[in-house]
Amino acid sequence: EYLSTTLIGESEILKIDGDGRVVLSDTIKAHAGIADRVTFVGQGFKFQIWEPQRFEAYREEAKNRLRDVRKRLGSGHRATGANQGTLE
């Protein structure tokens, strides 16, 4: 319940301007650190809106974490169990 209250309780209905553009509220812009530019990041059936430098930093961190996971998986660890989700 805490999670849904935190996530959904702070959601906003965004406005659309006369040209069909989404208008981000000052609250959302402040939270995301957005000033005058954004980066749209595709996520399958949805997308995220990021401040460009924050996204680049996040993407680099994600690459580093994925690299670490690949190293662990490639260093003799094997998935076991019924769903192959447990590492030995």
pLDDT of residue 11: 85
For residue 50, the tally of other CB atoms under 10 A from its CB is 20
Q: For 83, how many CA atoms within 13 A lie in the half-sphere containing its CB?
A: 2
How many folded domains does the chain comprise?
Answer: 1
Question: Residue 51 falls within a domain, yes or no?
Answer: yes
What is the pLDDT confidence band of residue 6, given thresholds at 50, 70 and 90? confident
In this prediction, what percent of the chain has a pLDDT beyond 90?
Answer: 66
Q: Are 77 and 88 in contact (CB under 8 A)?
A: yes
What is the model's pLDDT at position 85? Answer: 56
Is 62 part of any domain? yes
- Token pair listed for 56: 């680049």
In a domain, 9, yes or no: yes
* Residue the block writes with tokens 């999670």: 3
User: What pLDDT was estimated at residue 37?
Assistant: 96
- Write down the pTM of the prediction: 0.67
**Angle in degrees, CA 59, 61, 66, rounded to 5:** 95
88 in a domain, yes or no? no
Residue 47, beta-bridge partner list: 42
What pLDDT digit, counting tens, does each position of 12-38 carry? Answer: 899 999 999 999 999 999 999 999 999
The range of the structural domain enclosing residue 38 comes to: 2-76
